Amino acid sequence: MALTLLVYRAGEVIKRQPAAERGRTTVTIDGLESNTTYDEGDFKLAWTDGNLESDKVNVPEFKTNKVGVTNITSTPDTVSLTVGETQQINTVVTPDGANDKSLTYSTNNQPVATVTQDGLITAESSGQATITVKSNDDPTVTSKVRVTVKDKPAEEQPSTDDTTSTEQPNEPSEDPNAGADGTSDAETQ
């Protein structure tokens, strides 16, 4: 009869793995939390031939592998702004089950564009900059956003040409007897 390895957790069989050769096999347990330590005895193993079952033995303490970041996608990947404008970068980290999805944002040209640690770009002055989004889990995994900043368009200034004005300023009277209000004593008598 063929032997089957039984994997127990909390007293229940969670996996059955046929032996590859007498008394040996490899088993993979699905559904475990990544980057987690499981204590000795959390899992137990026993052999069965379908009729009889061996004594259960404790699986020694083990730690599952962490799930690392493999990709970062940033949108938009190209931004054109005018001085004073802002743009939010949206990022997706894969795989979805990565243990550490935290990111660091930086700019290569702070006088042109700044970026917050939440991914908000602010256009500071005209020019070009590159925003780098880097995985804290694996700094070699990055995404880049190209930023072009233009100056604000020149605002129209009000006209200073007085040739269209119909009002004439009050000219002081030439009469040496005139008072401050432009009337003379001769007129008021």
pLDDT tens digit sequence for 136-174: 999 999 999 999 999 988 875 555 555 554 555 555 555
Please state, in angstroms and rounded to a whole number, the distance separating the CA atoms of residues 33 and 51.
33
Q: Count Cβ neighbours within 10 Å for each residue of 107-132 and write b for 16 or more, e otherwise.
A: bebeebbbbeeebebbbbeebebebb
Q: Tokens standing for 92?
A: 């997706």
- State the average pLDDT for the chain: 87
Label residue 189 by pLDDT band (50, 70, 90).
Answer: very low
- Output the CA–CA distances (angstroms, integers) from residue 107 to 86, 146, 170, in the order listed: 14, 10, 61
pLDDT band with cut points at 50, 70 and 90 for residue 20: confident
Q: Is 187's pLDDT higher than 60?
A: no
Q: 87 pairs with which residues across the strands?
A: 121
Torsion of CA 73, 76, 79, 84, to 10 degrees: -100
